[in-house]
Structure 1
Amino acid sequence: MEAARNAYTGGSRKLVVALDIGTTFSGAAYLNTPNLGSAKVSSVLYYDRDGNFCGIDNGVDFQDDDAFLRIKWWKLLISPTEPSAAMKDQTTTELPKGKTIVNVFADFMGYLFQSTKALFKTSEPNGDLRWDSVSNSIELILTHPNGWGGPQQAQLRTAAIEAGIVADTPVGRSSVHFVTEGEASFNFCATNTQAGKDLKPGEQVLIIDAGGGTIDISTYTVINNEPLQVEELYESECLLQGGEFVTARARAMAKEKLRGSKFNTPEDLDAFSLRFDEGVKRVFSSNQAVQHVKFGSPRDNDPECGIKAGRLALTGLQVSEFFEPSIQSTVDSIRENFSERLAADSFAFLVGGFATSPWFSAQLEERLLNIGFKFCKPETHTNKAVAVGAAAFYVDHLVIGRISKFTYGVPYGITYEPSDPEHVQRKHKSYIDPLGERSVPGRFKRMLSRGTKVLEDREIRRSFCWLSEVSPIQHIYPQIFKYKGTADAPKWVDTEQDKFETLCSVKADLSSAPHQKPKHKGKTCYVTEADVILLVGLTELKAQVSWIDSETGKERRSDAVVVYDNPSERITESDTE
């Protein structure tokens, strides 16, 4: 039973809609205080041969597969981490004609949102009237795996705009919010399990969200319990070892086992995968019992391949081996990253669609108990935990501190010093700035270190100076780099070029900032000074710029736009107005 929720105290009525787009199944939840509704649908989509979205796999509407393109696992196409080489053959997805992956997300997101709308209207008292009264005040919460970040969030926001859920305006874009699947799962467990409701200050918890594509692992420590407030404890983990990879390994085995037989066709392998996924994988609980996968007709027999009456026999040990990489990867990650850092007898909560597998759940429980964890799996709705938890995330506000996933910083030019060996080493890269000074590019100014705990209101800032010979600077586009190496304070971008990546650019309007026009070495140029501010404690990176007003002497701020190097992210001049 869900815990009671405090009454909403905002100035206007809102409807919170959370969409959890999963690899195999997706969930939706809405919160129109105090009611919480939810639903779950397949993530397998059908398109016609012209690239038009036709619907989801409900087992009824698309019997004539030849007329449609069936796509699955498409969510993994925007993942920053690729599947292993052994899995790539199983997870290759053909996109519909004329569609990008963002278009596919938009098609499905629109379908899921409309389904949620229909559920609300039919389930809630006076549903039609109530929906209409809040349809212009919807806060959209989108979930994503722990390993995703800004570039993936940008694509999801673009898809929400394309789907017509939010407007392509600053207000519309700001009504889209993000939360990791791990954090959403914690919100669910905290209010839907007795262990979660009984958490005390100082206690630590491990959250395992086992889905179709990824297994997300997160840790939190309790700061307060009245009201409940927690902080992320360590960097979260994201493993590409979800339930779909169990099916992929079973398919790879079947392909090898049926090699040379008449059953080794894409159609037969598809049928095997479907039957295994819907049958054996969901009920498998003992490695001692023989399992049978039905994928042919009763007249189909091939003793050499183990096929009898259209059924392929698998030993229990074989089936357990399909699960083992997912189980062991999860346990290894927990042991290596968390087990010695968490307090003894910390709770490990297991949720997600893959958590409903008896074998996966039992094996994980046994092995986690052996390394000192207490185990808890919610009795109901574990396959909708992320969607329900995402809706709760927006209103309950349980997580007040998060861990930085990498080192943030900016490259800049520094005045050349002939006595500095590092400058001399880079003299061939130097340039003369508009004030006539020789400068060396590529110095790295760290703004935030990886693994730093940041509270929600934490902001980091760095001061910058922009020079222009022609006219005052109106807009700036400074790049924010992320550093993935191990150095505590990297100084130069060129020393570990493979460890630096452009994370994003910050687009800001400085037309209202004061501009100086000094003369130096006989040269005159425009100088603009301002601070770039990163808001790093939220679930999404945000930015501002600030400067000192020349008349009042007070700080002035302006929101900036975080732009990722992503062709699907649409940015217009009006964004910063």
Structure 2
Amino acid sequence: MSSYYADKSYEGPETIVVAMDIGTTHSAVSFTYLCPGSHPQGKMVAHWPGQAHWNGAAKIPSVVSYRNGTAHAYGMDAQKEIEEHADKVAYWFKLHLHPASMLRVSGPRGFEIPPLPLGISIERVYEDLMRYLMENTKRFFGMTTPGGEAIWARLKNTMVIMLATPNGWDIKQQDVLRRASIKASLVTEDTAGQFLQFLTEAEASVHYALANQSFDWLKKGTVFAVIDCGGSTVDTTVYRCTSAKPLKLEETCPSECVQAGGIFVDREVKKMLKNRLQGTPFGDPEVIRIMTRAFERELKPSFDGVKAEYDLIFSSIRENDAQLGIHKGRLTLQRESLTSIFNVVTDQIVNSCLDSLIEQRAKCVVLVGGFAESPYVRHALWKVLNHMGIDLVTVGDYAKKAAAEGAIISYIKQAVVARVVKATFGGCVREKYNKQLHSARKHTVQIYADGKRRVDGAFHAWIKKGTILQGAIAYQLPYHLAWDINTPMDEIKKSLGTTQIEVFAWEGDNVPIWCKDERGHLMQGMRPVFTLTADLSALAGGLHQTNGFRGKRCYRVNYLVCVYFGGTQLRATLRWQEKGGTCESAIKVISDVS
């Protein structure tokens, strides 16, 4: 069982924090019990049903099997059913959530994603697995914490849940996890905004790496990168050390995320075996599955590309076929056939991170993640980085899930104090006409109820891409609604009842002027994030006439959009004034912004 101890005592409110890393091939959970006056300790859940309790046993397969539409088995128990009932098993399901931008880089031949069981949605799979992970975390907490069952019962409704996600995921993927977390009873609809947090796998991994290795070279001003080689994605994040004691880090540029993890090697090896053994007794799909599993377990973690030939042990010593290169249950594979498969993936990793490392002048790369277990991957990266004068450091405890443990360590230490915003976020507004900015739409100008000339579909930037967030920032943006003095009150009340502001993200490096074209359609590249909605109809009875531009009389309502950027979160709340005080909209939306 892995443990991390903080060097300072905790003085905040009593709580439990649970961190989940649901990976493509394996999942893991860590937790900490924060008790005032004690030194926080991070622990990995190390006992899972159907799995031997040796070597920490901190990882379980990310697999769920179903019978008659109901989850039947999980982890190791479910993995055993893949070979006979693959159509009833959800595995590699994380790939279903990868955005199109990541799927496009899965290699020249594309990548086939295993289908989900009939009638089972991706949200349902996450819900079932989250519930299973939490049930076993509760059991393990009770086993390893004095008075654990009573503590868990007392704090379960205020528990903080952290979910580690790839750098390339954003609000769409987080929304699926959020809904699954609510259905799995990890949080409620009302508490999700407060107690559900998202953390990138890369950031979690850097905390894991720094807590489990001695980095004497890490001094103030040092620029280094963390490359997290996972099952389906490889994330690269570059940091600058702003303080060594206490340790504080900031991101120097937006992270990179490429779909080039270990499962792509597995899939290509399976194709190679099918082509080689086709038309022979060993070409049976069942035999191919056994060989592929043997490769995943034994040969992939040990392949180094040094020898001319490698043996894949897949059966008993009675299996022999000299023509196929099978001797005593061992299939001989040539180095060239394996290196060509590995190179497709390692080339993508190098291409994804090289520019950032050069531009930011990184001194060192810290390599973490299960796929980093491969000696060939480590050597391929070392060869390129060494040529550039960049050191490569590995964190070699691959029995663990770096992101799961690192997430808890990050919560305890809060070392990463600055992050880079990945896109420009802002609202779609009716902007006051500016002839320099809006001349292209001069013909669309309308006189608004307050007497000012305005244009629709303008983009009001809240925070710009590339902004470095030092801790958290919050500010209030003033907006207003206005109506002509002759507008019927029923119409005003109806309009107030559906007050809303649309929020968008722009991935480009510039700040656009428009978010919608003249017909009200989204501009190319503008991505919807969420819509803030509030019912302000109660304000209709207290409306007063006011003077607008050049003395034009109108009705006007002022409100605020309160924006919070902190960690990986964007929160926006619509706030207004009533006679009884300040009120907020019930909808608070959270997005991954950095």
Normalising by structure 2, we get a TM-score of 0.83
Q: Report the secondary structure of 1:201's partner residue.
A: coil
**1:19 Cα deviation from its structure 2 partner:** 0.6
**1:404 Cα deviation from its structure 2 partner:** 0.8
C-alpha distance 517-446 of structure 1, shift in aligned 2 (>3 A): same
Question: What is the distance in 2 between the residues matched to 1:212 and 1:241?
Answer: 8
Matched, 1:327 2:310: no
Instruction: Supply the AA of the counterpart residue of 1:476.
Output: T
Question: What is the distance in 1 between the residues matched to 2:127 and 2:25?
Answer: 17
What is the aligned partner in structure 1 of residue 508 from structure 2? 485
Moved over 6 A (4+): 511-514, 519-524, 548-552
What is the aligned partner in structure 2 of residue 193 from structure 1? 213
What is the aligned partner in structure 1 of residue 480 from structure 2? 465
**1:177 Cα deviation from its structure 2 partner:** 1.1
Give 5+ residue unaligned stretches, structure 1.
566-577
Question: What is the distance in 1 between the residues matched to 2:391 and 2:585?
Answer: 45
C-alpha distance 70-271 of structure 1, shift in aligned 2 (>3 A): farther
C-alpha distance 38-360 of structure 1, shift in aligned 2 (>3 A): same
**1:116 Cα deviation from its structure 2 partner:** 1.6
Give 5+ residue unaligned stretches, structure 2.
35-39, 46-57
Among 355, 367, 371, which residue is 2:372 paired with? 355
Q: Report the secondary structure of 2:459's partner residue.
A: strand
What does 1:553-564 align with in structure 2 at a 5 Å threshold? 558=584, 561-563=587-589
What is the aligned partner in structure 1 of residue 414 from structure 2? 397
What does 1:379-528 align with in structure 2 at a 5 Å threshold? 379-380=396-397, 383-414=400-431, 422-423=438-439, 425=441, 427=443, 433=448, 439-459=454-474, 461-467=476-482, 469=487, 470-472=491-493, 473-474=496-497, 476-491=499-514, 493-494=516-517, 497-508=523-534, 510=536, 515-518=543-546, 526-528=555-557
What is the aligned partner in structure 1 of residue 248 from structure 2? 229
In the TM superposition, what whole-angstrom CA distance separates every residue of 1:151-205 from its partner, at most 9, and x where no partner exists? Answer: 2222212111111122232x35411111111111111122221107x63221222
Among 107, 124, 127, which residue is 2:128 paired with? 107
Contact preservation (8 Å) 1:516, 1:528:
no
What is the aligned partner in structure 1 of residue 188 from structure 2? 167
C-alpha distance 474-389 of structure 1, shift in aligned 2 (>3 A): same
Q: Report the secondary structure of 1:350's partner residue.
A: strand
Contact preservation (8 Å) 1:503, 1:564:
no
Q: Report the secondary structure of 1:401's partner residue.
A: strand
In the TM superposition, what whole-angstrom CA distance separates every residue of 1:294-328 from its partner, at most 9, and x where no partner exists? Answer: 44666666666545555433112221222212222
In the TM superposition, what whole-angstrom CA distance separates every residue of 1:466-501 from its partner, at most 9, and x where no partner exists? Answer: 235423525532111112234355456439922211
Among 29, 37, 42, which residue is 1:36 paired with? 42
Question: What is the distance in 1 between the residues matched to 2:174 and 2:194?
Answer: 12
Matched, 1:77 2:83: no
Question: What is the distance in 2 between the residues matched to 1:164 and 1:94?
Answer: 26
Q: Report the secondary structure of 1:440's partner residue.
A: strand
Contact preservation (8 Å) 1:87, 1:245:
no
Question: What is the distance in 2 between the residues matched to 1:306 and 1:147?
Answer: 42
**1:240 Cα deviation from its structure 2 partner:** 0.5
Contact preservation (8 Å) 1:38, 1:384:
no
Contact preservation (8 Å) 1:287, 1:315:
no
What is the aligned partner in structure 2 of residue 538 from structure 1? 567
Matched, 1:529 2:548: no
Matched, 1:58 2:76: yes
What is the aligned partner in structure 2 of residue 570 from structure 1? none
Instruction: Supply the AA of the counterpart residue of 1:467.
Output: A
Instruction: Please say which of residues 385-394 and 312-321 is displaced more in the overlay.
Output: 312-321
Instruction: Please say which of residues 83-92 and 460-469 is displaced more in the overlay.
Output: 83-92
C-alpha distance 2-36 of structure 1, shift in aligned 2 (>3 A): closer
Q: Report the secondary structure of 1:383's partner residue.
A: coil
Question: What is the distance in 2 between the residues matched to 1:261 and 1:406?
Answer: 53
What is the aligned partner in structure 1 of residue 27 from structure 2? 26
Among 74, 98, 111, which residue is 2:119 paired with? 98
What does 1:244-283 align with in structure 2 at a 5 Å threshold? 244-261=263-280, 263-283=282-302
C-alpha distance 290-490 of structure 1, shift in aligned 2 (>3 A): farther
Instruction: Supply the AA of the counterpart residue of 2:407.
Output: A
Contact preservation (8 Å) 1:146, 1:180:
yes
Instruction: Supply the AA of the counterpart residue of 2:562.
Output: I
What is the aligned partner in structure 2 of residue 337 from structure 1? 356
What is the aligned partner in structure 1 of residue 18 from structure 2? 17
**1:108 Cα deviation from its structure 2 partner:** 0.6
C-alpha distance 258-383 of structure 1, shift in aligned 2 (>3 A): same
**1:35 Cα deviation from its structure 2 partner:** 2.8
In the TM superposition, what whole-angstrom CA distance separates every residue of 1:48-92 from its partner, at most 9, and x where no partner exists? Answer: 341211222426884595457222110121122325465887542
Question: What is the distance in 2 between the residues matched to 1:236 and 1:558?
Answer: 34
What is the aligned partner in structure 1 of residue 239 from structure 2? 220
C-alpha distance 508-179 of structure 1, shift in aligned 2 (>3 A): farther
Matched, 1:124 2:158: no
**1:511 Cα deviation from its structure 2 partner:** 6.3
What is the aligned partner in structure 2 of residue 574 from structure 1? none
Contact preservation (8 Å) 2:437, 2:513:
no
In the TM superposition, what whole-angstrom CA distance separates every residue of 1:552-574 from its partner, at most 9, and x where no partner exists? Answer: 9xxx5746634589xxxxxxxxx
Contact preservation (8 Å) 2:4, 2:43:
no
C-alpha distance 288-136 of structure 1, shift in aligned 2 (>3 A): same
Matched, 1:176 2:196: yes
C-alpha distance 263-515 of structure 1, shift in aligned 2 (>3 A): farther
Q: Report the secondary structure of 2:523's partner residue.
A: helix
**1:25 Cα deviation from its structure 2 partner:** 0.7
Question: What is the distance in 2 between the residues matched to 1:303 and 1:359?
Answer: 28
Question: What is the distance in 2 between the residues matched to 1:527 and 1:305?
Answer: 82
In the TM superposition, what whole-angstrom CA distance separates every residue of 1:368-398 from its partner, at most 9, and x where no partner exists? Answer: 2221222222243573221111012222111
What is the aligned partner in structure 2 of residue 7 from structure 1? 9
C-alpha distance 2-10 of structure 1, shift in aligned 2 (>3 A): closer
Among 314, 318, 326, which residue is 2:333 paired with? 314
Question: What is the distance in 2 between the residues matched to 1:94 and 1:550?
Answer: 55
Question: What is the distance in 1 between the residues matched to 2:545 and 2:415?
Answer: 49
Q: Report the secondary structure of 1:501's partner residue.
A: strand
Contact preservation (8 Å) 1:327, 1:360:
yes
Question: What is the distance in 2 between the residues matched to 1:422 and 1:135?
Answer: 53
Instruction: Please say which of residues 349-358 and 522-531 is displaced more in the overlay.
Output: 522-531
What does 1:200-219 align with in structure 2 at a 5 Å threshold? 200-219=219-238
Q: Report the secondary structure of 1:446's partner residue.
A: strand
Contact preservation (8 Å) 1:504, 1:562:
no
Normalising by structure 1, we get a TM-score of 0.85
**1:448 Cα deviation from its structure 2 partner:** 2.0
Question: What is the distance in 2 between the residues matched to 1:414 and 1:529?
Answer: 16
Contact preservation (8 Å) 2:159, 2:195:
yes
What is the aligned partner in structure 1 of residue 51 from structure 2? none
Question: What is the distance in 2 between the residues matched to 1:70 and 1:386?
Answer: 25
Contact preservation (8 Å) 2:78, 2:89:
no
What is the aligned partner in structure 1 of residue 63 from structure 2? 45
Instruction: Supply the AA of the counterpart residue of 1:499.
Output: G
Question: What is the distance in 2 between the residues matched to 1:16 and 1:434?
Answer: 51
Contact preservation (8 Å) 2:66, 2:73:
no
- The percent identity for this pair of structures is 28
**1:242 Cα deviation from its structure 2 partner:** 0.9
What is the total number of aligned residue pairs between the two structures? 555
